[in-house]
Amino acid sequence: MTATPVRPILRAQGIVKRFGKFTAVQDVNLSVAPNTIHSVIGPNGAGKTTLFHTLTGTLPATAGTIEFDGVDVTALADHQRVRHGIARSFQVTSLFPSLDVRENLRLAVQGVHRLAAADGWLPPTGPRARRELVDEILERMGLTRVGGLPAGTLSHGQQRRLEVGMALAARPKAIFLDEPTSGMGVDDIGGMKALIHGLRGDHTVVLIEHNMGIVMDISDTITVMQQGRVLVEGKPEDIRNDARVRTAYLGNMITGGAA
């Protein structure tokens, strides 16, 4: 691998997020290189999810700038950032429970196109059903069998996979995954880990994860947060051995794990 500096696909500078008197994120800088897996870790309450919210536009940042793929997206809301190539999954499963899995994905695929939803005349049949892409994602997430079931009836593991699938459906440049394996059983986790690792070729992945087995094994860069600030950033080996990180985590969860 050459050491040629590559322009980061995401550059966030001076991000601050306040809720009334409480500052959840304080002066965070984040640079994410394209086609890498960049993990954000930290103890609970570190501000990771809040940071995600500001990066994806779910919440507006109180201060700071965010540049994505050369475009200043700071003032854009989440639904606008999707068009620029940002997609996300949520920490707490957030699907369309009464609609079936295929429909969930179709909506996600359609959502990228600016005025797609403005069609008040034609039903989502034919080209508008986006069959190919939906089928592809169902296949990739192992959900083909349950395609016709309401999303709310899926098992937790299946729902978590659909969460990721929803993000992929937007064919994004960068995918933000917030604890994708949360609550998943051991068997499912392995599959998810392989999947995320495989996304690297076509996408940039920004990942919040508590499972250090995954973080240490697949990340290219790790940013450690604590109490709203960046504590340290670097490659997995560096983070593993960093004293400050050990202290932050009370030392016992960051050694990485099998597979």
Which residues form the interface with another protein (CB under 8 A)? Answer: 20, 56, 58, 77-80, 82-83, 87-88, 90, 94-100, 103, 107-108, 110-113, 116-125, 128-129, 148, 150, 166, 169-170
Give the pair of three-digit tokens for residue 97. 């429970």
Give the pair of three-digit tokens for residue 10. 């995401």
Which amino acid, one-letter code, is at 246? R
Measured from the CB of residue 114, what is the shortest distance to another protein in angstroms?
A: 8
Contact 147, 129 (CB under 8 A): no
Nearer to another protein, 152 or 251 (CB): 152
Nearer to another protein, 14 or 97 (CB): 97
Measured from the CB of residue 7, what is the shortest distance to another protein in angstroms?
A: 25
Nearer to another protein, 35 or 93 (CB): 93
Give the pair of three-digit tokens for residue 12. 């966030």
Measured from the CB of residue 128, what is the shortest distance to another protein in angstroms?
A: 6
Measured from the CB of residue 23, what is the shortest distance to another protein in angstroms?
A: 16
Nearer to another protein, 167 or 230 (CB): 167
Nearer to another protein, 71 or 77 (CB): 77
CA–CA gap between residue 188 and residue 146 (Å, rounded): 16
Nearer to another protein, 12 or 101 (CB): 101
Give the pair of three-digit tokens for residue 49. 């999810």
Helix (H) or strand (E) holding 193: helix 186-199
Determine whether 147 is exposed, middle or buried from the number of CB atoms within 10 Å of its CB (0-12, 13-18, 19+). Answer: middle
Contact 92, 56 (CB under 8 A): no
Pick from 190, 192, 196: nearest CA to 175? 196
Measured from the CB of residue 184, what is the shortest distance to another protein in angstroms?
A: 20
CA–CA gap between residue 76 and residue 66 (Å, rounded): 10
Q: How many CB atoms lie within 10 A of CB 59?
A: 19
Measured from the CB of residue 94, what is the shortest distance to another protein in angstroms?
A: 5
